[in-house]
Amino acid sequence: MLSENKTITILSVIAAVLFVFAFLMVIFYAPIEVNMGLVQKVFYFHMSAAWVGMLAFLMAAIFGILYLVHKDLKWDRLIASSVEIGLLFTVICILSGMIWARPIWNTWWTWDPRLTTVTIMAFTYIAFILLRRSMDEPSKRAQFSAIYAIVGFVTVPLTFFSARLLRTIHPIIFGSGEIDMNLNQPMLTTMFISLGAFTIMYVALLLQRAHLMQAEDDLMQLRMHTEIDADWEDQADA
């Protein structure tokens, strides 16, 4: 069995290698898209960031169910870690989308259904982090986080299907739509390599963040026990 630190290191190295490989493929292998031109190459990282954001929120909901079933705080740490990472990649998705949109739509932002729903999704999880940090009691915080992660996940399919069910100017990668992006084989290969790199990086970051949270919890418990022991000694001396 590999130790957790070794697992994180191995995953991080694999992700880094894939990132470099994906970047080189984006620059030198994937052809320039006919309609959008060179700026379309942002798509490979935009799509991957969007995927990891939604995957992270899905996993947070699954971890929430597991916490409610088992009442083990390790699932709570995974909930919080996954939400933080998902929010980070969602912000990357939004920013890269703005860079992509400026030359194509002639604006940094428009209240298109996809952009509106992804904003709602982002603020839903920003609220999660703020509310969670306002709670000190571990079991109460974990119960809240689990339920919130499950309920909050409704924003993910809402975001995903918004471009398919509503009129939108956002490109649709797979499936029919008013604006489809037709990807040839080199484009698809590059996209999947990028998706793989981002996915492995998510797993590495998840394990690392959860490990740090456990260390923070252990340190907090140690401080509490130290303070209790100090209080007992003061009372004994009195």
CA distance 60 to 220: 24
Q: What is the pLDDT of residue 179?
A: 44
Going from the C-alpha of 171 to that of each of 97, 98, 217, 223, the distances in angstroms are 11, 13, 44, 53
Q: Which pair of structure tokens corresponds to residue 50?
A: 């969007």
Sign of CA dihedral 201, 155, 150, 139: positive
CA distance 193 to 47: 12
| pTM (two decimals) | 0.86
Q: What is the pLDDT of residue 85?
A: 98
List residues bridging with 37 in a β-sheet: 33
Q: What is the pLDDT of residue 233?
A: 56
Go through the chain and tell me how many residues it has. 238
Q: Which pair of structure tokens corresponds to residue 158?
A: 């809402």
Which of these, 217, 203, 234, lies nearest to 73 by C-alpha position? 217
Angle at 15 between CA 11 and CA 21, to 5 degrees: 150
Mean pLDDT per 10-residue section of the chain, whose length is 238 residues: 79 93 93 82 93 98 98 96 97 92 82 89 97 92 97 95 72 54 84 95 95 83 63 56
Q: What is the pLDDT of residue 125?
A: 97
Angle at 127 between CA 85 and CA 130, to 5 degrees: 85
Burial-class residue 181 by CB neighbours within 10 Å (0-12, 13-18, 19+).
middle
What SS3 state is found at 172? strand
CA distance 86 to 83: 5
Amino acid (1-letter code) at residue 40:
Q
Q: Which pair of structure tokens corresponds to residue 107?
A: 């604006």
DSSP state of 33: B
CA distance 127 to 145: 11
What SS3 state is found at 180? strand
Q: Which pair of structure tokens corresponds to residue 154?
A: 């409704």
Q: Which pair of structure tokens corresponds to residue 78?
A: 């995974």
Q: Which pair of structure tokens corresponds to residue 32?
A: 């320039």
Q: What is the pLDDT of residue 178?
A: 45
